[in-house]
Homo-oligomer: A and B are copies of this chain.
Amino acid sequence: MRLSKTFIKTLREAPKDEVARNGALLSRAGYIHKELAGIYDYLPLGVSVIEKIKNIIREELNAIGCEEVQMSALQNPELWEATGRFSDQEVDIWFKTELASGGTLGLAPTHEEPMTNMLKTYISSYKDLPLYVYQFQTKFRNELRAKSGVMRGREFLMKDLYSFHTSEDDLDIFYEKVEKTYARIFNRLGIGDSTFKTFASGGIFSKFSHEYQTILPVGEDTIYYNADKSLVFNKEVFTDEVLAEFNANANDFTEVKAAEVGNIFKLKHKYSKPLNLKYTSESNQEQYVYMGCYGIGVSRLMGVIAEKFADEKGLVWPEEIAPFKYYLVGIGEKGIAEAEKLYKGHENEILFDDREARPGEKFADAELIGIPYRVVISDKTLAEGKVELTSRRDGESKLVDLKELFV
């Protein structure tokens, strides 16, 4: 992409009311535009990061046999009344709206109910199971406060996966498979070493659920981890009673702030029972389907990763989700001409700063936008037949052969 041809510009100032660093930096660097608190537009660079996150998740889920769908945002209240979740007393973050032809609809804050109901059309026999169905879909949550940038949106993008099984054993097997898949996803996203599966409070049907928490000073949650980080608890379950169950001692744990980036949950019959999702077993018995659900906050991840790696100069993207791998600057007539040559055929890997601007301005924008590698071509580098390659993460520069760039 040529910076001269895109409508986005880096901005000196973030929106006045933007208090979160991720929101401020992503706005200034041209990734997002704020509509209202917790409601954002995604600009070309932001669309690119979101698509890269989605593609990593999609590849990993497809590899374990999951199928992608796209469900509606507008929700039929009947389904949610069946599970007792339509009332504002039970679920206090609904956005609701009125149909012109009469009746109230909800805007989906999550999709367990319509997903369970939809599968009634497709599941009848044990032969139809197991099934794994996911989507990337906008969720709407009527949060009282939304001051965390894209880390807590009133409108945000989530990946939600639902699994359907004949037995609890089969659910357990798939649940473990998803745990391994999530570990791969967070590794590929560049936050594997600071993201942990934690024990969180369960529900009616499970003592615990699991969350994925990324260590982050501005995170909204508090977690406790042991020396080798094999045992991590959310604050709400870090009690003497729970610790006793794990033969653990509170003194061996470190407290740290973290942000939730995913959660996995054994739903068992929680939704299949009230919504009557059954299958006929091998012995010809009607039985309720076992279910699991598995979320990842896609737009939230963009905010968490922005917060996690940013420095005083701006954003620092991990290579796998950076909108471009290289930020290209040509200096001087020859340098610019060589940069033009280098750009050709690599338009998807290079953000080419071909604007009429001083090199210093371009370098500052390269740092703010957070592209992993800056490539500078100037008389000085050309004298040695090389280009200057600077890593955004550690700021180290070296002269390299052009050939080394696109391997």
Contact = CB atoms under 8 A, between A and B. Distances in A.
Contact of A67 (B7, B75, B154): B7
Contacts of A155: 72-74
B93 A69 contact: no
A43 B72 contact: no
Nearest to A8: B122
B72 A44 contact: no
Interface residues of A, number: 57
Given A47-B68, A74-B39, A118-B33, A95 B97 contact: yes
Interface in A131-147: 131, 133, 138, 140, 142-145
A236 interface: no
A230 interface: no
Contact of A41 (B40, B114, B131): B114
- Which of A44, A73, A93, A128 lies at the interface centre, i.e. has the most chain B CB atoms within 10 A of its CB? A73
A75 B142 CA distance: 14
A46 to B, nearest CB: 8
Contact of A138 (B101, B122, B138, B144): B138
A286 to B, nearest CB: 19
B65 A5 contact: yes
Interface string A76-113: 10000000000000001101111111000101000000
Contacts of A47: 68-70
Contacts of A41: 69-72, 114, 118
A67 B6 contact: yes
- Which of A99, A114, A143 lies at the interface centre, i.e. has the most chain B CB atoms within 10 A of its CB? A99
A174 to B, nearest CB: 14
Interface in A1-55: 5-9, 11, 33, 35-36, 39-44, 46-47, 50
A283 interface: no
A100 B39 contact: no
A306 B151 CA distance: 40
A119 interface: yes
A121 interface: yes
Contacts of A128: 7
Contact of A72 (B9, B11, B35): B35
Contacts of A122: 7-9
21 contacts: A7-B122, A7-B131, A8-B122, A33-B121, A35-B75, A35-B114, A36-B74, A39-B74, A39-B76, A41-B114, A44-B68, A46-B70, A47-B68, A50-B70, A74-B155, A95-B105, A96-B97, A97-B97, A99-B154, A100-B143, A107-B107
Interface of A: 5-9, 11, 33, 35-36, 39-44, 46-47, 50, 65, 67-76, 92-93, 95-101, 105, 107, 114, 118-119, 121-123, 128, 131, 133, 138, 140, 142-145, 154-155
